[in-house]
Amino acid sequence: MDGDRPLIGITMRQELETGRFYLASAYSEALEASGGAPVHMALIPRAEYIESVLGRLDGILLPGSASDVDPLRYGKEPHRQLGTVHPLRDETDALVLEIAERRGMPLLAICYGMQAWNVFRGGTLIQDIASEVPSAIKHEQGMPRERPSHRVKFERESLISNLAGGESALVNSHHHQALDTIGANLRATAWTSDGLAETLEETSRERWALGVQWHPEVGWVKDNFARAIFQAFVSAALLYKEQNSTGGQSTTVTVQLF
C-alpha cells in the first residue's frame, strides 16, 4: 500500500547564479517506481534541521552534483582542473551523513554522493582524472547520458555483484574525479579497466549502504541492473521503517547478499 512506502530523503543541488535549489527528476522517479516516497531536502547545513528531517525518514539518497567536493575537506590544495565547489552542498551532505550513520539508516550514494561519503569517512579523491591519471579510459562520456560507455568488474560475493547478477556490467560514466584513498570502514568492490574504484560498500554487513560512481537513475527504465539497485535500496529502507515503527531506538539493517 502507498501509505507503507518508506520515505527517502534526497539532498538537492544549488544553482549559484540564482540561489535556487533543484534536483534532476530521474532520482525521484526511480525511487517512486521502486516503491519509495522521495522527499527533497533543502541545502540548509543546520544540525537541528537535519535531525528533524531525518527523524521522519527511512533512507538517504545522496545524488550527483554539478560541483566537486572541496579538497580542503580531505587535506589537499585545489588542483588547477578542480571544478566549482558548492559549500552548502558539502556542508549539508556531511551533516546528513553524520546523522544518518548514527541512526544506521540505509544509504545510496551516487557519483558525487559517493565521493562525499568517502571524504566523510576520511578518504581522498583524485581531483581530475584526465590530468592525474594519463592512462585512464574516458570517464566523461557526454550525451546521451543513459548510454553504457564502459565496463566495471565486481568483487565476488559483494552487494553490488549480487545486484548485477554477475562479475561485471556495462555502466554510463559522467565524472572527472574519482576515489583515491578509501575511507575508514569502507571497501571498494568494483573497478574499471584502468584501475579506478567505482563502488563503495561498508566493511560490515550491519547496514545497507552502497555508493556507485555511475548514474543508475538515468537508465533505470530499460536497465535491469539499475532497477535492481533502487529496488534493493527501497527494500532496505522499508525494513528500516518496519524495525523502527514502534518508536524505539534506531536499528541497523543487516545486508542480505543472497
Category of 104 on φ-ψ map: left (φ > 0), alpha (ψ -120 to 50) or beta: left
- Bridge partners of 200, per DSSP, are 211
Structural Rg of the chain based on CA atoms: 17
Reported as a single tens digit per residue, the pLDDT across 225-254 is 999 999 999 999 999 999 988 554 444 444
Question: How far, rounded to the nearest angstrom, does the alpha carbon of residue 97 sit from its chain's CA centroid?
Answer: 11
How many CA atoms within 13 Å lie on the side-chain side of 137?
16
Catalogue all structural domains in the chain, each as residue range(s) with its CATH number. Answer: 2-243 (3.40.50.880)
Q: Are strands 199-202 and 209-212 parallel, antiparallel or unpaired?
A: antiparallel
pLDDT over 70 percentage in the chain: 93
Reported as a single tens digit per residue, the pLDDT across 123-146 is 999 999 889 898 887 777 877 877
Q: Which of 56-60, 116-120, 219-223, 248-252 has the lowest mean pLDDT?
A: 248-252
Q: What is the pTM of this model?
A: 0.92
Reported as a single tens digit per residue, the pLDDT across 22-76 is 999 999 999 999 999 999 999 999 999 999 999 999 999 999 998 999 999 999 9
